[in-house]
Amino acid sequence: MAIYHRSMIFVAIALAAWSPSASAGWKLMSAKQAAQVDGLKVTPESDWNQGGRPGKQGRVWTQDGTGLNALEFFSGIPTGGSLYKERDKKNNPMPKFDSGLLLPELADFFERSFRAANQLSDFTIVESAPTDLGGKKGLLVRYRYTMPNDELTRLGEARLAVVDGKLFVANYYAPQLHYFGAGLPEAQAMMQRARF
Amino acid sequence: MKARAILAVALLSAGFGSASAKEAQFERPTFAGAYEPQGVDERGLWMELDDHERGFRDSPLIVRDEELTKYITRVLCNTVGQDRCAAARIYVVQDNIFNATMAPNGLMVVNTGLLARLHSEAELATILGHEFAHFELRHSLNKFKKRRTGSDILMWLSLSGAAVGQNVGAVAESAFLTGLAGFNREQEQQSDFLSAGYIRASSYPLRASVVWKRLMEEDDALREERKQRKIRRFTPGATDTHPTNLQRFAYFSEIEAEPGAQEGDDGAAAYRDATSRVLPTLFGSLVKGNEFAAADYVIQSRAQALGWDGLLLHARGELYRLRGNPRDLVTARQFYEQAIATGSAPAEAWRGAGLTAMRGGDSVAGKAALQEYLVRMPQASDAAAMKMLLEN
């Protein structure tokens, strides 16, 4: 009996140790608690899940799965670095950031990166205008896109700022149908209150 | 229906089967206007596709430009005949890949990437004719039947293998997939030949080989840029679904060499006029995509065939500016300035000229160009950001 108990405890410990890796690195980001996401400090209003790294310097958050809503944070991308991970350097090289880019050109860089990462043919910038990110001067990019072989219109809102020659980005995107509008106020509040 | 398909295939083999028969007059297969699908398989296929089309026609990927769609329909009608072209409903879709498709129920999709890479109505006719041939020969239905028969045999083979304790499933499956790919290639070739037949019976000259030649050159350019080995294959791989580009180039060249194949107006000028108007829509995703050498090849080959205009020069400027090497910015600025000099440049050419001038250290000229951009396009999506740049 004692042996049985001990083995049960062992199995329980093994399971406890194993389960985080089984959930592919998802981590609960609790509501109203400040979280340090690489170089950015953000405070969510509600619970979010923190997932993997879409880029070397990036993190993705979601509530219902990244296909339904996603919030990405990228911190300190240097000149020559890419926004999204270069998964296939030979066939799909990612655009490289250049600290010399003028403010309106950040939108072009973001568009090319987002297109390449998602293999998009349809992407339109609805508006790009000056904004703040973490109290620094930056660019707001509102965009609309469609995934290949998909009939859903998706919307996004990104904020980009260059601080000491390095690029910081917060990017929220979701399908136009329900999810984008539903999550936008919280995403905007988080982006506005983000601090370096 | 079956009789029509057989007739078409018979005409094909009569037209292209032997050297002596090649000169025989091509006649289009007979065509019934209001055709209803026959048999349970065809009815099922049409039902599924009708359902798909109801959702698809609202897709945000569709380029809603009535004039362009009408123009493509006109080229299709000139190619396959006024009686049968009404069977197709054409949708232009935002996709930078060179492709077009036609479903068994008449849903035809033409990619913007296809229109960007073609140079004349005659070239467009070969592609539209090819897709229409798939439709007319009921290729999807035949493929569906072939797949079903194959998977039935596969199931029986696996079961009988299991009964005698032998695992024959994997071998049989790979034979099945290889066979299916071969069947697909045969259908593609049939469609190519029927398309050539349509064109021979139309007012267009046959201009197909050059399309495949350019696709090979584009691929070469991209592979060279990416330091990859160039691939020129005359024999398709076992799982290839299409004949290789080189094969298509070769057999079309042969047909084009036949007497009278090159006669007629290729409609290059009309094609240029119809596509120039929507050039930013056709080239936008190519230019902003990730295949610099391929996009530059496509732009230059269009210019070589149809001449440069403000929109095409602007597109090339964008391509270089977006790649963004210091030397690219200098080159891009020249393209923007050339675009402006043509008198047919879009307002965005001043945006590009201004940004590249400022990046190159010429802020006076840069700011002047950006101001001009805002005068020409006060409602630009980035007007606020530009104003901020100008104030600092």
Contact B95 A92 (CB under 8 A): no
The pLDDT assigned to A5 comes to: 56
Contact B56 A95 (CB under 8 A): no
CB–CB contacts below 8 A, A to B: 86
pLDDT per residue as tens digits for the range A98-116: 999 999 999 999 999 999 9
Contact B61 A121 (CB under 8 A): yes
> Is the pTM here over 0.90, yes or no?
no
Provide the pairing of β-strand B107-111 with B89-93. Answer: parallel
Over residues B179-199, the mean pLDDT reads: 89
Q: Does B95 touch chain A (CB under 8 A)?
A: yes
CA-based nearest residue to B78, from B118, B24, B140, B120: B120
B137: closest CA of chain A, how far (Å): 26
Over residues B157-164, the mean pLDDT reads: 75
Q: Which residue of B has its CA nearest to A125?
A: B381
**HSE-CB of B186 using CA atoms within 13 angstroms:** 15
Contact B385 A103 (CB under 8 A): yes
Residue A94, token pair as written in the block: 């990612």
A82: closest CA of chain B, how far (Å): 13
Tell me the H-state helices in chain A: 2-22, 105-118, 179-193
Rounded Cα–Cα distance for residues B301 and B389 (Å): 36
B230: closest CA of chain A, how far (Å): 14
Contact A107 B290 (CB under 8 A): no
**Residue among B228, B355, B381 minimizing CB distance to A105:** B355
**Position A11 pLDDT exceeds 60:** no
Residue B242, token pair as written in the block: 């299409």
The pLDDT assigned to A1 comes to: 42
Q: How confident is the model at residue B83 (pLDDT cuts 50, 70, 90)?
A: confident
Q: How confident is the model at residue B150 (pLDDT cuts 50, 70, 90)?
A: confident
Over residues A143-167, the mean pLDDT reads: 94
Q: Do B107 and B53 meet the contact criterion of CB atoms below 8 Å apart?
A: yes
Task: Count other C-beta atoms under 10 Å from residue A18's C-beta.
Answer: 10
The pLDDT assigned to B366 comes to: 97
Q: Which residue of A has its CA nearest to B360?
A: A100
Contact list in A for residue B384 (CB cut-off 8 A) is: 127-130
Name which residue leads in pLDDT, B25 or B135. B135
Q: Which residue of A has its CA nearest to B59?
A: A151
Interface of B with A in 316-355 (CB under 8 A): 321-322, 324, 355
Q: Does B232 touch chain A (CB under 8 A)?
A: no
**Residue among B355, B381, B384 minimizing CB distance to A125:** B381
pLDDT per residue as tens digits for the range B192-241: 999 999 999 999 999 999 999 999 999 999 999 999 998 878 888 888 88
The pLDDT assigned to A21 comes to: 45
Name which residue leads in pLDDT, B9 or B227. B227
Give percent of chain B with pLDDT exceeding 90.
69
Contact B389 A104 (CB under 8 A): yes
Q: Do A186 and A46 meet the contact criterion of CB atoms below 8 Å apart?
A: yes
The pLDDT assigned to B39 comes to: 87
Rounded Cα–Cα distance for residues A161 and B114 (Å): 37
Q: Which range, of B83-87, B231-235, B349-353, B376-380, averages the lowest pLDDT? A: B231-235
CA-based nearest residue to B323, from A109, A72, A122: A109
Q: Does B289 touch chain A (CB under 8 A)?
A: yes
The pLDDT assigned to B308 comes to: 97
Task: Count other C-beta atoms under 10 Å from residue B232's C-beta.
Answer: 11
Rounded Cα–Cα distance for residues A16 and A31 (Å): 24
Name which residue leads in pLDDT, B290 or B266. B266
Contact B95 A102 (CB under 8 A): no
Q: Does B288 touch chain A (CB under 8 A)?
A: yes
**Position A18 pLDDT exceeds 70:** no
Name which residue leads in pLDDT, A12 or B389. B389
B55: closest CA of chain A, how far (Å): 8
Provide the pairing of β-strand B107-111 with B100-102. Answer: antiparallel
Q: Which range, of B14-23, B302-311, B342-351, averages the lowest pLDDT? A: B14-23
Q: Which residue of A has its CA nearest to B324?
A: A98
Q: Do B255 and B261 meet the contact criterion of CB atoms below 8 Å apart?
A: yes
pLDDT per residue as tens digits for the range B48-71: 999 999 989 999 999 999 999 999
pLDDT per residue as tens digits for the range B277-292: 999 999 999 999 989 9
Q: What three-state secondary structure class fits A161?
A: strand
Q: Do A28 and A37 meet the contact criterion of CB atoms below 8 Å apart?
A: no
Residue reference for tokens 């093994």: A14
Q: Does B356 touch chain A (CB under 8 A)?
A: no
Task: Count other C-beta atoms under 10 Å from residue B54's C-beta.
Answer: 9
**Position B12 pLDDT exceeds 50:** no
A10: closest CA of chain B, how far (Å): 41
**Position A15 pLDDT exceeds 70:** no
Over residues B110-139, the mean pLDDT reads: 95
